[in-house]
Amino acid sequence: MLDVYKNPDLPFEERVVDLVSRMTLDEKISQMVHHAPAIERLGIPAYNWWNECLHGVGRAGIATIFPQAIGIASTWNVDLMHTIAVAISDEGRAKYHQAIREGFHGQYHGLTFWTPNINIFRDPRWGRGQETYGECPYLTSRLGVAMVKGLQGDNPKYLKTVATPKHYAVHSGPEHARHHFDVDVPERDLWDTYLPAFKATVQEGQAYSVMSAYQRFRGEPCSSSTLLLQDILRDEWGFEGFVVSDCGAIRDIFENHRVVDTAEEAAARAVIAGCELNCGETYMMLKGALEQNLIDEATIDRAVRLLFLARFKLGMFDPPECVPFAQIPYEVNDSPLHRDLALQTARESMILLKNDGLLPLDKSQLKTIAVIGPNADSIDALLGNYSGIPAQPITPLAGIRKKVEPDVEVLYVKGCNVVNLILEIRDRNYNEQFSSALTVARRADVVVMVMGLSQALEGENGQMENVGDGQKSQGDRQGLDLPTVQEELLKAVHALGKPVVLVLMNGSPISVNWADEHIPAIVEAWYPGQAGGTALADVLFGDYNPAGRLPITFYKSDAQLPPIEDYEMAKGRTYRYFKGEPLYPFGHGLSYTTFTYHDLQLPHELQIGQPLDVQVTVQNVGDWAGDEVVQLYLRHLESSGVVPIHQLAGFARVPLQPGQSQTLYFTLRPEQFSFVTEDGRRFIEPGRFSIIVGGGQPGYSSTLSGDIELMGEVVEIPR
């Protein structure tokens, strides 16, 4: 007769209770760190909980590599996000089962993925903003839910993988201070900006794991915050999964935050608060904590049961034939279907920031093209951070060469490094790279300058991935401008009088003020993944009509920003509160065709608590087929509290042929009309609201608008 925990016909919860009851204290504690060892007497294999799939399965060899997260967000395509997540989880499952067949249980081959990063990109200098879906809580929520659902699957019994929204909560820099930084924000910002995406991924997405952040929140480390982990996450939102600390965050509790004196105290405090898994080693001190009466064994049992419940739900203790995802073949990795998906995503992520008519380029009129810039032939610039290895990466240079006819000459010179650490700018006329760049530019009919940033200039604190030469990323950016050496090269090439296209490859906004004034065409490509060069060439030569939209504001200068340490939104953070003039606003993106809007329909009055149906028709009145990203914004006109200037409340990416029109229907939920008070309560109150629909943010794009009167009595609703 099978032991209870080995019987696949019994409920997971019953099997987990049985299994944990058979374990010794030392065995239980050993399972609470990310590199959990095998317990051979019980048939428990070793398991490493740490895996990554930010934009493709990371750090585990060949995988399909999609654009960096900020690029995926620029598609404004929820369905595409879900499809990407399904592809990633297919590859993750295939890699896991192949590793198991080979007897490998190491890091980056498990089924618990520490993705997505749904922190709000509130400050464009934050080095990890590239990992997020931008600055808007609503856009982040919609994309985050789609990612979680695609990763975890929809099987009624088994999880395909475990998704882990991170970093909970109120985290977005500064990187250098994250291990000791203390964040405090007004209740209004907590509930209206920093928590909505976590609530959505937990409640709608049913995420089975959450990662706690490094820093303190209101004096308490996030990994041991009862407020965050118990009161809000579990009691208020009904979260039933497990919490994992960011790596080394439990050690920070005593070593850097210094809210306790010992590792034993830190471990006990975190587990009691509701952090079940330690990425790190500190939980190995739990036995000492138990001996010191800092924690009891029942609390440890509760944590271990939650961890094993996840493993059972993943099918790790059932025969492979019982688990549908175990049948995914290894050949799905880097499959033709997934390569096509990476190309589609890269195309949809491209944003045409400016175009004075130079684009698309006419191949029939070009005999010589100069491709210049530090990112033009850089594979690292395709990838961003938390990346796997693409089998066939296509750089911008390779994409352009493949696109044009054999008789078109494509000349390439790097021109400069991303940052020139050796030669002074005043010596540029003697710089061999500058000289070579100007030589090929003089010969060309058009010049494509591929510039931007790198992981050396933006990334995670201490990051070495895709930095090169054994160096580390500086973490947060020191400013927003294009690096000086690149701007000087751009100016020198422009002075030749040649038509110039500027392509930016980066993970955060760049203040290209001079380029916006002088360069006729600018394309934002982000870190576009393995097919980035092909997608860029498609856009440059008109084989694809760009339709990406900015998920974050491009400011003119960091002088428009408060200090990076300041988390308060009302001080001018993001499009929702920024009152200055941006270089390129949130939601911005151009097309090779033209769209018009008409027939906006909404009622004049609406009772509080009722959903609002909005109808609008969009038409392609230009000569090119293309996608339009329809954006719906909501503005409070009479609120008694502090509210955003306006905020995104609906969007849809719509493909339209020339002359074609489509009527769209949006439904706004009652809670979207609410506001949060200074003490953190959420209310809906009567008054006037403005609904604005168009191809961009109000004030920066052609839009239609209408007002609606919300009728009834003030109602308090759940946060």
Q: How do residues 694-712 score in pLDDT, each as one tens digit?
A: 999 999 998 999 999 999 9
- Active-site annotation holds for 543: no
- Count of other CB atoms within 10 angstroms of residue 181: 19
Q: Which pair of tokens denotes residue 713?
A: 């009595």
Q: Is the pTM above the cut of 0.95?
A: yes
At 424, the pLDDT band (50, 70, 90 cuts) reads very low
Which DSSP symbol is given to 590?
A: B
DSSP-assigned beta bridge partners for residue 627: 655
- Active-site annotation holds for 458: yes
Distances (CA, A) of 521 to 74, 357, 449, 491, 671: 19, 8, 10, 14, 41
Domain with CATH 3.20.20.300 in the chain: 22-332
Given a contact cutoff of 8 angstroms between Cβ atoms, the answer to whether 203 and 251 are in contact is no
* Backbone torsion region of residue 385, taken as left when φ is above 0, otherwise alpha when ψ lies between -120 and 50, otherwise beta: beta
**CATH for the stretch 336-557:** 3.40.50.1700
Average pLDDT score, the chain: 97
Nearest CA to 573 out of 186, 157, 7, 181 is that of 186
pLDDT score of 425 more than 70: no
For a pLDDT cut of 90, what percent of the chain falls above it? 97
Domain with CATH 2.60.40.10 in the chain: 595-717
Strands 500-505 and 446-452 turn out to be parallel
| Helix, strand, coil percent content, the chain, rounded in steps of 5 | 35, 20, 45
Q: Which pair of tokens denotes residue 306?
A: 């939650």
State mean pLDDT over 396-403. 98
At 530, the pLDDT band (50, 70, 90 cuts) reads very high
Strands 626-636 and 368-372 turn out to be unpaired
pLDDT tens column, 358-368: 999 999 999 99
pLDDT tens column, 600-636: 999 999 999 999 999 999 999 999 999 999 999 999 9
Given a contact cutoff of 8 angstroms between Cβ atoms, the answer to whether 520 and 447 are in contact is no
Query: Whole-angstrom Cα distance, residue 59 to residue 107?
Result: 9
State mean pLDDT over 593-605. 97
At 373, the pLDDT band (50, 70, 90 cuts) reads very high
At 432, the pLDDT band (50, 70, 90 cuts) reads confident
pLDDT score of 232 more than 70: yes
Q: Which pair of tokens denotes residue 370?
A: 């100069």
Catalytic residue among 90, 246, 524, 628: 246
How far from chain centre, in Å, is Cα 129?
8
DSSP-assigned beta bridge partners for residue 33: 278
Query: Whole-angstrom Cα distance, residue 519 to residue 190?
Result: 41
* Residue 427, pLDDT score: 55
pLDDT tens column, 440-482: 999 999 999 999 999 999 999 999 999 988 889 999 999 999 9
Torsion of CA 103, 105, 109, 111, to 10 degrees: 110
State mean pLDDT over 121-141. 98
Query: Whole-angstrom Cα distance, residue 279 to residue 112?
Result: 12
pLDDT score of 428 more than 60: no
* Residue 470, pLDDT score: 83
- Sheet strands side by side (includes 715-717): 675-676, 682-684, 715-717
Nearest CA to 458 out of 240, 173, 113, 143 is that of 173
pLDDT score of 426 more than 70: no
CATH topology of domain 595-717: Immunoglobulin-like (2.60.40)
* Residue 423, pLDDT score: 47
Nearest CA to 623 out of 662, 589, 654, 592 is that of 592
**CATH for the stretch 22-332:** 3.20.20.300
For a pLDDT cut of 70, what percent of the chain falls above it? 99
Q: At what angle do helices 12-21 and 297-313 cross, to 10 degrees?
A: 130
Distances (CA, A) of 525 to 31, 245, 322, 456: 43, 33, 43, 18
At 421, the pLDDT band (50, 70, 90 cuts) reads low
DSSP-assigned beta bridge partners for residue 626: 656
Strands 626-636 and 647-656 turn out to be antiparallel
What phi and psi, each to the nearest 5 degrees, are found at residue 411?
-100, 140
Query: Whole-angstrom Cα distance, residue 196 to residue 674?
Result: 13
For the CA atoms of the chain, what is the radius of gyration?
26
Given a contact cutoff of 8 angstroms between Cβ atoms, the answer to whether 483 and 457 are in contact is yes
At 139, the pLDDT band (50, 70, 90 cuts) reads very high
Catalytic residue among 252, 458, 488, 627: 458
Query: Whole-angstrom Cα distance, residue 308 to residue 300?
Result: 12
Q: Is 513 exposed, middle or buried (0-12, 13-18, 19+ CB in 10 A)?
A: middle
- Count of other CB atoms within 10 angstroms of residue 422: 9
Q: What residue has token string 């030469």?
A: 469
Query: Whole-angstrom Cα distance, residue 532 to residue 350?
Result: 9
pLDDT score of 18 more than 90: yes
Q: At what angle do helices 137-152 and 78-101 cross, to 10 degrees?
A: 40
State mean pLDDT over 571-588. 98
Q: At what angle do helices 532-540 and 396-403 cross, to 10 degrees?
A: 50
pLDDT score of 260 more than 80: yes
